[in-house]
Amino acid sequence: MKRAKPQEIKTKALIIGGGIAGLAAATVLEDHGEDYILVDEYPFMGGQYLRHREEYIPRDTETRKQGFALLEKLKGKENIWTSSLVFGCYNGNGEKAVAVSKDGRVFLIKPEKIIVATGAREKFLPFPGWTLPGILSVGAVQALVKTSGTLPGKEGIFAGTGPFLLAAAYEYEKAGGRVLGIFELNPLAKLLKFLPHALDKEKFKEALRYLRLLWSRMKFGWKVERAEAEGEKIKVVMSKGRARKTLVGDFLATGYGFSPNTEAAQICGCEVEYKPELGGFVVKTGEDLNCGDGVYACGEVTGIGGARKSLIEGKIAALSLLGKKDEKLLNQRKRELAFARSLNFVFSVPRDLWKKIPDDTIICRCEDVRMGDIKKVVEEGFSFLRELKETTRITMGNCQGRTCFPIVTEYLRAMGKKPEPMSIRPPLKPVETGIFVEGGET
Amino acid sequence: MKPVTIKVNGKSVRAREGEMLAAALLRAGIRVFRRSPQGQPRSLFCGMGTCFECLVKADGRWVRSCITPVKEGMEVEVEEG
Ligand SMILES: Cc1cc2nc3c(=O)[nH]c(=O)nc-3n(C[C@H](O)[C@H](O)[C@H](O)COP(=O)(O)OP(=O)(O)OC[C@H]3O[C@@H](n4cnc5c(N)ncnc54)[C@H](O)[C@@H]3O)c2cc1C
Ligand code: FES
C-alpha cells in the first residue's frame, strides 16, 4: 500500500523523552515562552519515575512532588505528544529532520535544536532459565503495579543488585503481593562501607522506609544459579559460595542496575563514551550538557544517577539551549554525579561473574544466541564487535541489542577487551513502527 | 479504571480501560505471548518497551503489549502453542 508523504513540522526545540528530565526541560522552555514539541513513545508522560495511575500517586519525597507538579503543569498541552516514537534523524542542508511515528503515521519534525532525554533501561546478569515466562525484570513488576494495578503473582522472589530491587519489592508488597526474599548480589560489608557516605537525608529516609518492611527478608551476597519452571511456578536455585538455597514462587524479578538509552542521541549525531562508574556507554556532553551541533542531552542518558539528577539536568539543558547558565544548578549536578558514582560502584557486578555465565545460557533473547556461541568466537580471537555480530547474530534481533549489548560489553571487558560502542542506524525499533518490515504494517 | 472487553484469539477477555495490554493478558491467565526462533515460550520481560518479548498483534498491527493501552473491542492475536 502506498504511504502518504510525511507531514513536516518546524519548531524551535524538540525534546525526545518525557521522563522527569524531559518534563523539567519542557517547563523551562514553557516559562521562557519558547516554542517546542515534546515527544515520548509511551502512551503517558512521566517516564519511569512518574508512571503512576491517577488514583495512585505517592508524593513521598521532594523530588516526586516536584515531578508530579511538572506533569500537572504540562498536562493536556497540544505540543506534548504521547505514543510517539523517534526512529530516525536525517541531516540535510545544515538542518536536522527527526522522524517520529505516531498512530501508524510518520511526521518529520525540523527543530532548530534538540534535547535528548531518553532515560535508561535495566541491565541483566543472565543465568540458565532467565527467558522463562514468570521471570521478569524488576522494572516490569513495578510497571505492572504502578501503571496497570496488576500483580504478576501472589508470591515473588527478587534477585539482583541495587536499591531499585528494594523499592520495587516494597511497592509490590504494598499493593498486596508477598515478597518471599530479596537476594542482593553484593555483600553487606561492601554496602555498609560505602553507602553511608552516599546517602543524603531524602534518600536515607526512603531507604529506611523500605528496610523497615523488608529487612528480615533481605539476604546479601547471593547469586542466581539457575531457574526452572515448576508447573505454573518458578523454582530458583540461589548460591553463596558453596551454600545453595532453593525457593519456589509465582515469579522471579531480576535486575542489575541501569544502562543509558543512548540510541536516539547517537542517531542525532552525539558521541558516546564508556563510563562504567556511570552505568556503561553514556552520551558525551560538556558541563552545560551540550553535545554540539544543536543537540543537548540530560537525565539518565548522560549517566545513571536517579530521578533528582535527571530533574536538575533537564533544567540545565533547557537553560543552555536558551544560552543561559545557573551556577547553583551546576553545583547541584556535581553533587548528584558524585552520588551516582558511588552508587554505581557499590552496586556493580563483580567482573569474574560475567566470565562464569554457563555456556548454555541464552544471551541474545531475540535470536536465541547462547554464551557458548559468543565464547567460541571470542576464543578464536575476534577483534571487532562487527565480527561477533556477523558470526553470532547478537544485537541483530528485534530489540537491536538493547538487552544483550550491555551484557556482551561487560563480558568482553571481563575478558580484557576494550568496550566498543555499537553503531546505530535508523530506524530505531523497526518492528513497532512496522514501516520498513515485511509483513508489518500496511 | 473503567471495565472494557477485548478479544484475544477470538475469545472475550475482560480488561480495564487504560491499563497496558500485557497486564490484561496476564490477568486472563495467558502466560505465553510468543515463541522465540528456537520455539521457546516467551512472555512479558522488561515491561518498558525495550526487549520486544511481549510482541503481539493488536487490531492488525504488531505492538509491544507492555506499552500499549487496551481499548474497548481491541482484537488481539497471541501466538499459542
Ligand atoms: C524500569 C525502571 C524503573 C525505575 N524506577 C525508579 C523508581 O522507582 N525510583 C527512582 O528513583 N528511579 C527509578 N528508575 C531510575 C530512573 O531512570 C530515574 O529515576 C528517572 O526515571 C530518570 O528520568 P529520565 O527522564 O532521565 O528518564 P526516563 O524516566 O526513563 O524517561 C525517558 C523517556 O524517554 C522516552 N523515550 C526513550 N526513547 C525514545 C524514543 N526513541 N522516542 C520517544 N521517546 C523515547 C521513554 O519512553 C521515557 O518515557 C527506574 C529506571 C528504570 C529503567
Ligand atoms: S516486555 Fe519488553 S518490550 Fe514489552
- Residue A294 sits in which domain range? 7-121+259-345
> Residues of A21-46 as b/e, b for ≥16 C-beta within 10 angstroms?
bbbbbbbbbbeeebebbbbbbbebbb
- Residue B65 sits in which domain range? 3-77
Per the domain annotation, does A441 fall within a domain? no
| CATH for B72 | 3.10.20.440
For B57-67, how does the pLDDT look when each residue is reduced to its tens digit (9 = 90+)? 999 999 999 99
| CATH for A109 | 3.50.50.60
Looking at the fold, whether A12 and A65 belong to one and the same domain comes out as: yes
Distance CA B36, CA B43 (A): 10
Per the domain annotation, does A49 fall within a domain? yes
Indicate which atom in ligand 1 lies nearest the CA of residue A63: 11
Confidence grade of residue A439 (pLDDT, cut at 50, 70, 90): very low
- The whole-number pLDDT of residue A385 equals 82
B43 contacts A133? CB cut-off 8 A: yes
Long-range contacts, stretch B25-31, CB < 8 angstroms, 24+ apart:
B25/B56, B25/B65, B25/B76, B25/B78, B26/A144, B26/A150, B26/A152, B27/A150, B30/B78, B31/A133, B31/A134, B31/A232
Per the domain annotation, does A431 fall within a domain? no
| CATH for A358 | 1.10.10.1100
Per the domain annotation, does A429 fall within a domain? no
Residue A47 beta carbon below 6 angstroms from any ligand 1 atom:
yes
Per the structure, the count of domains in chain A is 3
Of A320, A345, A370, the residue that ends a domain is A345
Confidence grade of residue A104 (pLDDT, cut at 50, 70, 90): confident
Residue A167, amino acid: A
Of A256, A273, A307, the residue that ends a domain is A256
Looking at the fold, whether A133 and A98 belong to one and the same domain comes out as: no
Looking at the fold, whether A98 and A16 belong to one and the same domain comes out as: yes
Q: What is the mean pLDDT of residues A241-249?
A: 97
CB of A83 within 8 A of CB of A70?
no
Residues 227-246 of A with CB under 8 A from B: 232
CB–CB contacts below 8 A, A to B:
118
pLDDT at B79 over 90: no
Residues of chain B in Cβ contact (below 8 Å) with chain A: 1, 16, 18-20, 22-24, 26-27, 31-33, 36-38, 40-53, 55, 60-64, 66-69
Distance CA A250, CA A238 (A): 16
For A87-99, how does the pLDDT look when each residue is reduced to its tens digit (9 = 90+)? 999 987 788 999 9
Looking at the fold, whether A113 and A18 belong to one and the same domain comes out as: yes
Which H or E run contains A172? helix A163-174
Per the domain annotation, does A422 fall within a domain? no
- The whole-number pLDDT of residue A55 equals 66
Q: Indicate the SS3 state at residue A77.
A: coil
Q: Which residues form the pocket of ligand 2, taking CB atoms under 6 Å from any ligand atom?
A: B 44-47, 49-54, 64, 66
Chain A neighbors of B23, CB-CB under 8 A:
144, 147-150
A134 contacts B66? CB cut-off 8 A: no
Residue A262, amino acid: T
Distance CA A20, CA A35 (A): 19
Mutate to test the pocket of ligand 1, among A39, A49, A122 (most ligand atoms within 8 A of CB): A49
Confidence grade of residue A405 (pLDDT, cut at 50, 70, 90): very high
- Cα-trace Rg, chain A: 22
Per the domain annotation, does A428 fall within a domain? no
Residue closest to A61 by CA, chosen among A328, A331, A311? A311
Looking at the fold, whether A357 and A321 belong to one and the same domain comes out as: no
Looking at the fold, whether A294 and A181 belong to one and the same domain comes out as: no
Q: What is the mean pLDDT of residues B20-32?
A: 96
Residue closest to A327 by CA, chosen among A315, A338, A337? A315
Residue closest to B67 by CA, chosen among A60, A229, A48? A48
Per the domain annotation, does A424 fall within a domain? no
Per the domain annotation, does A146 fall within a domain? yes
What separation, in Å, do the N-terminal and C-terminal C-alpha atoms of chain B show? Answer: 32
Burial level of A179, CB count in 10 A (0-12/13-18/19+)? Answer: buried
Distance CA A279, CA A265 (A): 16
Distance CA A145, CA A410 (A): 31
Q: Which ipTM was obtained for this model? A: 0.97
DSSP label at residue A54: T
Per the structure, the count of domains in chain B is 1
Chain A neighbors of B61, CB-CB under 8 A:
104, 434, 441
